[in-house]
Structures are given as C-alpha cells and as structure tokens.
Amino acid sequence: MAPISIVFFLVFTSFACGGAQPNQSSRIGPGSSLSPTTQPSSWLSPASRFAFGFYQLQGTTGFAVGIWLVSKHNKTVVWTAIRDGPPITTNARLDFTKDGMMLSRTERRRSKLIAKATGSVSYAAMLDSGNFVLCDKDSKIVWQSFEHPTDTILGGQTLFAGGQLFSSLTEIDHSSRLVIINGSSLHTVRTLHIASSATNNNTIYRSTLDADGIFRLYSHGYEESGDFNVSTLWEALTDRCEVKAFCGFNSYCTFNDNEPYCLCLPGTDFVDPNDRSLGCEKNFSEAVCIGGKENEALYRIQTMDNMEWGDLPYVVAALSTKEECSRSCLEDCSCGVAQFKSESCWKQSLPLRYVRRTKNKETVFFKDGITSLKSSNETDNQQVPLEVVRKTAIVEILLVTFGFTAFSCVALAISGLFVFKCRVLRYQRLIENGNLGLNEEVTLRLFSYNELKRATNGFKEELGKGSFGAVYKGALYKGRRLVAVKRLEKLIEEGEREFRAEMRAIGRTHHSN
C-alpha cells in the first residue's frame, strides 16, 4: 500500500535555533571524514543542538548515518540516510568529496553517495536548524537534508505537495514502513510547514510520523544540564486503530488494556505469527465454483458484530433480513464477507483491509471453508471440499500404483534370482554325482587343469607313458568314475595335430573293458 501526502495545512510559530549561513569555524572542508568508532564520529551544529554522522543502532553492534538532537542522555533521530540498507559496520567511513558525502563500506568494497550535490561543492555544514547542507563557493546550497525528509520535519522545514513521510518500523529501528496517516481524501493535497524564529535557543520543535502511524508535534525544551524535556503538543489521531496500515490484510485491530493489537478474521491465519502486522491468509482450500449453490455444503458462515473496513463492496443487494444476507453470501462464489445494514446486504470479496472493531452494531457474515484439517472444536462429520477430495484421491491412486509396480519389480527380481540359484545348484550336484544323463554319451566336457590335478591326486599314480607324455590314474564324481588323464610333457612341431589324431583313434576304439 502506498503512503499518501500530508493532507492538511498546519502552521506553528515556533522558536528554534536557526541560522541559514554557518560561520567559518563550523564549515567542513573537502577531504574531511568520519568513522563510527574513532573521533570524530560526527559533526556538530554551532550551538551543539544537532549532530550529523554515525550513530549506533540500539541493541546491535551496527551503525547508521543520520542527524539527531544532541542530549546527554537522550538521542532523538530526525533523519537517516539509506534507512532501508543493512547496518553499517565499524570499518566503514564517510568522506566529504567534491561530489558530496561518500559512504564507503569496506567489508563490501562498495561506496555510495548519500548526499549528491547538483553543482560544485566548496564546504558542508550542520546548521542549528537541523539541516545538513552542501554549499558552493558562493555559499549557495547545492544539497540539503531538508529536501529529503524521512519521518520528521523540523522548524523551518517545509513538506511540499507531493512530499512524503515514511514512519519507522519501530522506535529503535528506523527502516521505513509504509503507513497511511489517516483516512482523508487523496485529492486534497496541501503544504505542511513549521515556521521558525531565532528568538529562543532553548526550544526545538519537530513533527514526526511515528512508528504507530500517527503524526504528532513535539517540543524539546533544553535545560541547563544539557538534557531536554519532550512534550506532545498535538497528534492527528487518538485511536491507534484508526491508522489504516496498523494491521495487514484480512486482520483487524482491536484493544486490550488500551493497547492496540491485530487478530485474524475467521477462516484466516497469520502469515507470520512473529510479525502480526503482515496480516493473515486463508487457511482453507477454495472449492471450484460451479453455479454457486452446488458449493454451499463446502462452506459455513461465522458471525461477528461491531466490525468495519475501508474497502467498498462489489454489490449492495436489497434484502430484508440477516438470514437472507447470510444465505446470499454463502451461495455467491465471489463473496467472502457480507454486512447487513439498513435492510441491505453489502457483499465484499477477500482480502479485506483497514478492518477494525467499532461500535456500529451491524452484523457481519464471514464465509469460512470447511477444511480437512479439523481443529479441536470441529466435529468429525464435517464435509471436506470437493477439490480437496479429488486431489487426495488422485494422490492416493498414484501412490498405490507406484507401490504395486515397485513391489512387482522386486518380487520378479527375487524370483529370477531364486530360479537361477536353483539351477546352478542342481547342475553342480549333477556334476558332483556324475549323472549327466544322455549328454555325457554324446558330448565332450571340458575340465580345468586344477580339476584334473585334484582328480589325479596331483598326478600321483602313473599308468603308462606315450610319445607326448605320461598317463595317470584319476577319479571323478567323488571317486565314482575312474578316468585316465594324459598330460603333455613336451611340445614338438605338429604335436597338437598328432595328439588330436591319437584322441580320435582312441574314440573309435570299442572294447569290453
């Protein structure tokens, strides 16, 4: 949501330390620099009421560059440079160059101009008005902090039409937060100005758009001790729930012990429970809209009183009773909330914004989905949205199909491995038993050298000797089959051919023994 310009005219005759022209002693020359941890870390105004430089962020070890009111015990920041950037570390440096004020972040090896002059720069100065300026050789201002306000304007400073103030995120975190000041018309834009005078050096005025979104005027009265007393002279709003951006979308502002806080509308939960200003989102799945009435069973109506919001309804239906208004929203696919007032039903779509509790007495109907995630106060027979049922069924079917396919593949692999193992074991047993059936009568079997060595007990018992080697006695199949094993002992030319001829001759021999 965008911030709006200041929408009213305000003039205060204030007395603040002023002086547009700095004296020679307070001028800052090019080449000057500041560091967060070494002196100087800031430059003071001539009356030592304002300072420009590094200030430490509360609760952290980081720093920021800004302007603040000087006091012994208090530090009121009125302007911050690069307010949405990361904290500045101790090894950063601020240099006054010919182009302006240059912030160097050595840990990131990057530099950024936080005050860029429109012309040549001769000197810089922190004025007693709270304005930090860059001036040329003719003392003409070529850049000033008054033209770049953050959340505060000071005495003598003007916020022109089109100018904007952004409140800080918290009182100690000066990051910008987009807050609309009030509900005035966006079409009436005027100038906000706080006049100044140099007749009193002990009071400084400032107007700030505070972290709670309320625009206030303060006075700072300095004492002899160097401290100042802060007084609130005026505030734009007294009800903090009237600040439209206090709560985010689909949440409403209410009070507890006079302290405002945000709660979620029915059917929504916080986007971030740790930061309730971010608003709420739906906690149920929306059913597909098919003619409206078909989805009636998938929703319920929750009723609240004393509620109002800033958005306009998309339709105002002439209905005579609250029941008719509730039923009309339940059957309308576009309706998220309906309000019954003056015999009319004001129907609104979600998300809602600028919602708060009031005393208007009108009844509001919120359409809430019946989800499959039942809370402790929901009954077990609630219906689940059709879309949720369909998605759940598809997921279950896919899971079952995948599981069955995976199980079938595993079972098939195990079965194949079992059959293979059984066949290998059976073959090994046949070999060991020497029962090869018909195959041993018509085929030859190959034996390894180690098998023949074991069969002959290491070629121990010699039966005879031929032209190529000796013949040894052996036994296969656990001693049930006696064999003769001939081992070649020498290789001669044409030896393999003659050995094969001898084997064929033996194979053709038939003898009773």
For 208-217, the pLDDT digits (tens) are: 998 888 899 9
The predicted model gives 247-254 an average pLDDT of 90
Where is average pLDDT lowest: 1-10, 126-135, 281-290, 319-328? 1-10
Name every residue whose Cβ is closer than 8 Å to that of residue 225 and which is 6 or more positions away in sequence: 72
* Residue ranges per structural domain of the chain: 24-242, 251-384, 385-433, 443-507
> What average pLDDT does this structure show over 129-136?
94
Say how many residues make up the chain: 513
Specify the pLDDT at position 364. Answer: 92
Is 0.85 topped by the overall pTM?
no
Per-residue pLDDT for 383 more than 50?
A: no
CATH H-level superfamily of 251-384: Hepatocyte Growth Factor (3.50.4.10)
With residues binned 3-state (H G I as helix, E B as strand, rest as coil), the percentages for the chain, rounded to 5, are 20, 30, 50
- 348 close to 249: Cβ distance less than 8 angstroms: no
Q: What is the dihedral sign for C-alpha 32, 36, 41, 42?
A: positive
345 pLDDT higher than 80: yes
Q: Which CATH architecture fits 443-507? A: 2-Layer Sandwich (3.30)
- Portion of the chain with pLDDT greater than 90, in percent: 24
Confidence check: pLDDT of 181 > 50: no
Taking alpha carbons only, the member of 60, 49, 86 closest to residue 172 is: 60
Per-residue pLDDT, averaged over 133-139, amounts to: 92
- Residue 161: CB atoms within 10 Å: 11
- The residue ranking higher by pLDDT, 66 or 462, is 66
CA distance 296 to 41: 67
Same fold, 251-384 and 443-507: no
Q: Of residues 279 and 512, which shows the higher confidence score? A: 279
Distance in Å from the first CA to the final CA of the chain: 112
- What integer best gives the mean pLDDT of the chain? 79
Please give the pLDDT value at position 372.
Answer: 44
pLDDT tier, 381 (very low <50, low <70, confident <90, very high otherwise): very low
Locus of tokens 């012994």: 72
